[in-house]
Amino acid sequence: MISYSDSDFVDILFSDENVIASRIHLGIIGEKDCPFQKSGVYSWIDGEIYNLNEILELFQYNSKTFSELLIDAYHNKQLEKVLSKIDGCFTAILYDKSELKLISDRYGMKPLYLWNNEGNFAWVSEIKALLALKCFKPEIDTQAINCFLDIGYFLGDNTWFKDVKLINAASIITYSLKRRKIIEEKRYWKWSSIKPQTINFNEAVVMLDILLQTAVKKRVKIDEKLGVSLSGGLDSRLNIGIINQINDLDVMCFTFGKKGCDDIKIARMVSLIKNNVHYVFELNQENWMNERFHSVWSTDGMNSLYHLHFPVSKERLKEYFDIHINGFLGDICMGGGWIDEFDKRITRKAAFNWFGKHIKFTNLDDDFYDISHQDPYFIDTRGRRFTNFGLIASSRLVETRRPFLDNDLIEFLYSLPDRYRHKSKLYKKTLLYNYPEYYDNIPWQKTGYPISKEMVLHRKMILVIKKLLKNFPIIKSMRKYADYADWLRIPDMVKLTKKILDPKNAIYSNHININFIDKYIEPHNNLKTDLINKCFNILRFLIHSVKEYILMLFCTSNHSFMVILNKLAPQYCHDYSEEICRALTMEIWLQQVFNKKYRK
């Protein structure tokens, strides 16, 4: 049993002739005690749902809790139908003496792993829990390692270990205890269930705001200690804007970043609108690495430490709030940030532009993605396997809610034509019309201008010039929330990274033949090549500034253009901070697993 705090709640250990199971939880949301038992069926729940009353009314059940609802649906042979309507973030287990059912939520954001090997079967919410089993011998998957080093996370159902898989979104896996094998894997919901609708743009603006308000309000309660992560983007301030409309609801805000960065400045402006308490957690060259070794452990090494940003201990976060309201994937679902082609199902070309050869780990032909939009594939891959694990790092001591994955909201957005969402057209119109005080005059970190200001030519040129200036060696940019490239060049950090990644002592050398010191650390710290890096970045932004003309000239897409440019960059650019952090994450995780180092 893995615990991160003395305040964690530990359920009783359930044990019979077939199953041994228990649960550790924060005691903040969801079922307080598990398992729940009814009519010979047991259920364990991790997480929560937001529409229990609606489900009970729809199916005419009298269930008192989510656990009881699942058992009632199971007995009535309506489990798939009920699950397809549930709005929540959870995993669930059902056990009836003859079989086990492992269940994930619609979008799979609450991880559940299974190990199935030679008659041994186990499920865990954290892979490291398997290390407590004497019969489990961790075996590294070298193909998965290459994927992680190339893109910084895993794809499909892959993990670090062979035979250990992450179960798919919207899935029910049935394991027969008598036959000692998985007898069925199926999706209970698919994107194809969302049908196109005819609605004009202005009507869509009105409906989007109604659904946004409903989504946020379903996920907050008066008696909860709420915290909103506030950045310089659009999504986080929308959360605080909606919450501030609710009477008697107290919420604090927090922001992390280096001193003077845009995110902190903009977040302060937003928090002052209604005088929300606002905490700033500063990132700097002394503290940026402090919590990251432990964050690697808490996330099972599933995400590069480059993206595990919290500079303070999770215990300090718990002092301020219990529930974190996050703008997860708002820019993608509402802003259309990943749209490459309008109203088309995901294609091999579009997937390859993002993941290269590693698309082999994803099932592009899965009918789960059968809808005329590309986003669902990327939500299930990059969103679930990368962005989501940045939140999981903090979810070991505080709960996280994601309003912009509300079922009704998602079903509405993907019933619309892509041109409505493209370049945040629908999103911006909704924000400016309904929340003007948060958006009319407060800039967007991405551009430096409020979204109310049209990006006319002179503003575009100013933005390009600012980007160019920050790449000169004598000018330090204050805009970004972190300077990881420079912080990795601090002598003590260079010494630490070389020590950890020394191939003579590192565990990774048993699995791959790469000398990370020669390949990444030395070039990253070579000041001569750093000047080349700066010059190339200037060239890169000059090209980027005229890309619209290049796109028209060569009839290619925006994303394809950037893929080509990014493939050229490593030949000249010597900022290897992401590559170094991926290698560090891998070695730290391997040391944690095999040598029990770096766990605290």
| Angle of the 577-594 helix axis to the 491-501 helix axis, nearest 10 | 50
- According to DSSP, the β-strands at 9-10 and 24-25 are antiparallel
CA end-to-end span of the chain, whole Å? 16
Distance separating alpha carbons of residues 62 and 88, to the nearest angstrom: 19
pLDDT bracket for residue 572 (50, 70, 90)? very low
The token pair that represents 10 in the structure block: 């530990």
Residue 528: Cβ-neighbour burial (10 angstroms; 0-12, 13-18, 19+): exposed
Mean pLDDT score, 384-412: 94
Mean pLDDT score, 15-43: 95
In 3D space, the residue among 237, 302, 580 whose CA is nearest the CA of residue 438 turns out to be: 237
| Other C-beta atoms lying within 10 Å of the C-beta of residue 485 | 17
The answer, yes or no, to whether the previous bond of 35 is cis (omega within 30 of 0) is: yes
Mean pLDDT score, 16-45: 95
Query: Per-residue pLDDT tens for 141-154?
Result: 999 999 999 999 99
Quote the pLDDT of residue 377.
98
Distance separating alpha carbons of residues 212 and 242, to the nearest angstrom: 8
Query: Where do we find the tokens 């615990």?
Result: 3
Query: Where do we find the tokens 């579009």?
Result: 350
Distance of CA 158 to the CA centre of its chain: 16
- Express as a percent the part of the chain with pLDDT over 70: 87
Whether residue 504 has pLDDT greater than 80:
yes
Quote the pLDDT of residue 442.
97
Distance of CA 436 to the CA centre of its chain: 28
Domain ranges of the chain: 9-192, 210-334+375-444
Phi, psi of 256 (to 5 degrees): -115, 150
Quote the pLDDT of residue 1.
67
Residue 419: Cβ-neighbour burial (10 angstroms; 0-12, 13-18, 19+): middle
Q: Are 282 and 257 a contacting pair, CB within 8 Å?
A: yes
> Which stretches of 8-141 are DSSP H helices?
52-59, 66-75, 79-85
- Of 236-245, 283-292, 399-408, 498-507, give the lowest mean pLDDT range: 283-292
Distance separating alpha carbons of residues 187 and 364, to the nearest angstrom: 15
Mean pLDDT score, 1-22: 89
Q: 3.40.640.10, 3.40.50.620, 3.90.70.10, 3.10.129.10: which CATH number matches 210-334+375-444?
A: 3.40.50.620
- Of 18-22, 227-231, 235-239, 469-473, give the lowest mean pLDDT range: 469-473
Query: Where do we find the tokens 């290459």?
Result: 146
9-192 and 210-334+375-444 agree in CATH topology? no
E strand or H helix that includes residue 336? none
What superfamily does domain 9-192 belong to in CATH? Aminohydrolase, N-terminal nucleophile (Ntn) domain (3.60.20.10)
pLDDT bracket for residue 7 (50, 70, 90)? confident
Exposure on the CB side of residue 442, measured as CA atoms within 13 A? 25
Quote the pLDDT of residue 467.
54
Residue 100 backbone class (left: φ over 0; alpha: ψ -120 to 50; beta: rest): beta
Quote the pLDDT of residue 2.
79
| Other C-beta atoms lying within 10 Å of the C-beta of residue 281 | 16
Whether residue 542 has pLDDT greater than 80:
no
In three-state secondary structure terms, 412 is helix
| Other C-beta atoms lying within 10 Å of the C-beta of residue 92 | 26
Mean pLDDT score, 258-262: 93
Quote the pLDDT of residue 476.
47
Cα torsion for 587, 590, 596, 597, to the nearest 10°?
Answer: 0
Query: Per-residue pLDDT tens for 323-346?
Result: 999 999 999 999 998 998 999 999
As a whole number, the mean pLDDT across the chain is 90
3-state per-residue secondary structure call for 455-502: CCHHHHHHHHHHHHHCCCCCCCCCCCCCCHHHHCCCHHHHHHHHHHHC
In 3D space, the residue among 481, 488, 486, 8 whose CA is nearest the CA of residue 254 turns out to be: 481
Quote the pLDDT of residue 55.
98
Quote the pLDDT of residue 474.
38
User: What are the C-alpha distances in Å from 234 to residues 327, 378, 434?
Assistant: 9, 20, 13
Query: Per-residue pLDDT tens for 180-191?
Result: 999 999 999 999
The token pair that represents 272 in the structure block: 């002052």
Q: How many residues does the chain have?
A: 600
Phi, psi of 386 (to 5 degrees): -115, -70
Ranges of beta strands (E only) in 528-580 are none
Quote the pLDDT of residue 10.
92
- According to DSSP, the β-strands at 120-124 and 113-117 are antiparallel
In three-state secondary structure terms, 280 is strand
Distance separating alpha carbons of residues 66 and 60, to the nearest angstrom: 14
List, in sequence order, every residue forming a beta bridge with 41; answer none if it has no partner: 38
- Name residue 106's amino acid: R
Mean pLDDT score, 248-266: 93
The token pair that represents 212 in the structure block: 């946004």
Query: Where do we find the tokens 């809790």?
Result: 65
In three-state secondary structure terms, 189 is coil
% helix, strand, coil for the chain, step of 5: 45, 15, 40
- Name residue 95's amino acid: Y
pLDDT bracket for residue 549 (50, 70, 90)? very low
Q: Are 276 and 251 a contacting pair, CB within 8 Å?
A: yes
Mean pLDDT score, 9-24: 95
Whether residue 206 has pLDDT greater than 90:
yes
Q: At CA 235, angle to CA 416 and CA 394, rounded to 5?
A: 120
Does this model's pTM top 0.85? My answer is: yes
Q: Are 287 and 311 a contacting pair, CB within 8 Å?
A: yes
Quote the pLDDT of residue 511.
96
Mean pLDDT score, 461-488: 65
